[in-house]
Amino acid sequence: MSEWSDEVALLPIRRASPAGLEKLSAAQGLGLNAKELLRLRTYYREEGREPTDVELAGVAQSWSEHCSYKSSRPFLRKAFSTLRPRPKVLGTGDAGVLRFEEGYAYAIRIESHNHPSAVEPYGGAATGIGGILRDVLAVGGKPIALSDPLFFGPLDRGPESLPPGVKSPRYLAEGVIAGIRDYGNRVGVPTVSGCVYFDPAYIVNPLVNVGCVGFLPRRRLTPNRAKAVGDRLILVGGLTGRDGIGGVAFASKELTDRSESESRGAVQLGNPIMKEPLIHACLESYDRGLVRGQKDLGGGGLATASGELVHAGGFGLRIELSLVPRREEGLRPWEVWISESQERMILDVAPRDVEELLTIFRRHDVPATDIGEVTEGPFETLLWHGALAARLRVGFRVDPPVIRRPTRLRRRRVVRSPDLSGEAPGRLFEELVLAPDSLSREPVLRVYDHEVQGRTVIKPLHGRVTSPSHGDAMVVQPRPSSLRGLGITTSAQPWACSEDPEAGGVLVVEEAARNLYAVGARPDAFTNCLNFGNPEDPHVLADFDYVTRGLARGARALGFAVPSGNVSFYNGGLGAEIPPTPVLLATGIVDDIGRAVTSDLKEAGNLLYLVGRSVPELGGSLLARRRGRSGLPVPRPDPAGLRRLGESLLSAGRRGLLRSVHDLSDGGLAVTLAEMAFGGGFGWDVDLAKVGVETPGLALAAEGRSRFVVEVREEDAARFERALAPSRRVVLGRVREGDATLRWSEKGGAVIPLGPLYDRWRTGLGIP
């Protein structure tokens, strides 16, 4: 065995006391708890030596919450293990892979880049996009669509009202949107889905989630594990620097007023100009059968990716760290090992194929270097200029034990719903439509290229070019020679989850399913990003437990596969805590893109149906947030009923009976009717008494249960009504030219001048 390198430091832990171990952990930035430090001490006592700084740096990455899911794994197993494996799931690695049609598959993945975006919003968001693209690439998928669910504090909060060290929500929002715009547009992948919400709960810790959908021939599906002893480990892509060092440790603790100064170096530097040829070179190598397994270098850098790659195959590794191409001089071995510099992949290649693979990467002008080999297990051996820098059991490092933390249910008070009988329908309608969470997202969507690659059939904005409005989901056509489409949508219900975590979890899944049904897609799969606070708080972990139960319950009832997901803990700080915020990137299958439906009204004289049962609960609603009302009961979920209703809508759509469809979600009937009118350039005459609740205000503001507004030609009404049970649909009114009218039976109503309202709605957001 080689002698130990003079350029690695030995750190004394074998004789250290518990207090000494904690002092060492703090000095080295390991972020390990007392039990983990004792486990480390025991390991090295058995080895009969002290650890090197390279070894401890690698352990700290792999044992971080961000990489290991050590607090969440027991809850994820309990919730999702009851979902039987579905034949349509082909892979569950760096991204979930599902059947699409004969010979083809698609991949989905969503993750968070919250902490980096709070410190450096442009770079944090951009590298979030870069990382999610690599996750899809790592299973053989060509990225074809991006999603960006975003949560910020209110835009009108100025510096004087913010805690020390916290950036203004407007600065964060503008920087994040610019980062997503520049990276996604330059790499040539359309951003087609997402959401933007504003709430005081996200002032300290904004949420920047990023999702990606990929497409691939099934023969290209490649595992995230090494294949055989003797295979070469080829590092491809960008050069390695000091950016992103300690990124996963940063993501595994709460933000403080010192995060800006202490952790800016943990934010990676993205390079979309390198990413685009990297994607092409990898895909060409996959198609030629030159790659036997691969991982992307994300959180934890080379340490995490290479360790997980070989451990999944039951192997070890030998890597010469000095061969890693570096963009700057003076990097220490431990820095090379854990740097999270972007645009990098590690490929497992048979020795006979190395030269052909390197030739492909040279032709694309992408660095590619043979840095090591797959060995018999169980050790990983790291060298620095031929001398030892690290040697420890791979499984010990990359597969730490779970932490079984305690849970404690919160005491949640339940109060009666407010009396809305005194609300003037016209004023309430305007309040809901012009709320910040309802305003047109067109200014954001217009800076993203959602047309690149030419696959987008149903676009993010529906309706006329002169007055576009919001839709429910987007539809892409993965293959030009096939009419089969893929619906893509994003859903989140943090306020419902805050009121009732399990019911809220189901409601998030219901929202995703409604969005897909609305465009003519049958729900197929979702991937989730679970954004929560500090897992060391038993209340937070209890919320996590019940939200995941709700997600699994909704998935089971609605037929969703759940092939991948992400957990983001420690979102909060400075005494603030985010609400439970599970975010879904969901997909559905559209059998014929020619039958896909949009949300904009199509023709005066058509009938407007309210489909689905209405309930009066306001818990988690936009109105409740506007009025500062918490403790209200949330609508009781009914995922099985939604599935039956959705299938009826799909059947009606196949027969060409649906002119437009829009689901009822945030802002209730008021926002739904407004968006349909805005997009089509028509008004409507609606009788709110037909909704089936006590008052006009409740009819406009209530958001439960799973309901849709559907536009149908009068000549198709009889056939449409036969397709749905009488208890599940009622005629609300008609599409008309000009302004909109709200009535309450024969007791008068309100006229809504849609033109001026649309102008205020379209321009009110004020970003980017």
Active site residues: 66, 113
CA 245 to chain CA centroid, Å, is 23
Extended strands (E) in 280-349: 293-296, 315-320, 344-349
3-state secondary structure of 570: coil
Omega before 705 within 30 of 0, i.e. cis: yes
Nearest to 510, CA basis, from 528, 523, 495, 520: 523
Give the span between the Cα atoms of 668 and 743, in whole angstroms: 17
Helix axes 639-654, 501-519, angle to 10 degrees: 0
Give the span between the Cα atoms of 171 and 121, in whole angstroms: 8
Nearest to 565, CA basis, from 65, 75, 94, 84: 94
Which residues are CB-neighbours of 102 under 8 A, at least 6 positions away?
none
DSSP string, 22-48: HHHHHHHT----HHHHHHHHHHHHHHT
Torsions phi, psi of 364, nearest 5?
-90, 0
Dig out the tokens for 284 from the structure.
């060409």
The residue assigned the tokens 């690659």 is: 453
Question: Could you give the angle at the alpha carbon of 592 between the alpha carbons of 594 and 100, nearest 5°?
Answer: 140
**611 contacts 718 by C-beta, under 8 angstroms:** no
Q: How many helices and strands (H and E) does the chain possess? A: 26, 30
Cα dihedral sign for 286, 288, 291, 293? positive
Helix (H) or strand (E) holding 662: strand 660-663
Torsions phi, psi of 674, nearest 5?
-65, -45
Give the span between the Cα atoms of 431 and 763, in whole angstroms: 15
Question: Could you give the angle at the alpha carbon of 709 between the alpha carbons of 587 and 497, nearest 5°?
Answer: 55
Strand-pairing partners, residue 734, are 607, 685
Helix (H) or strand (E) holding 196: strand 191-198
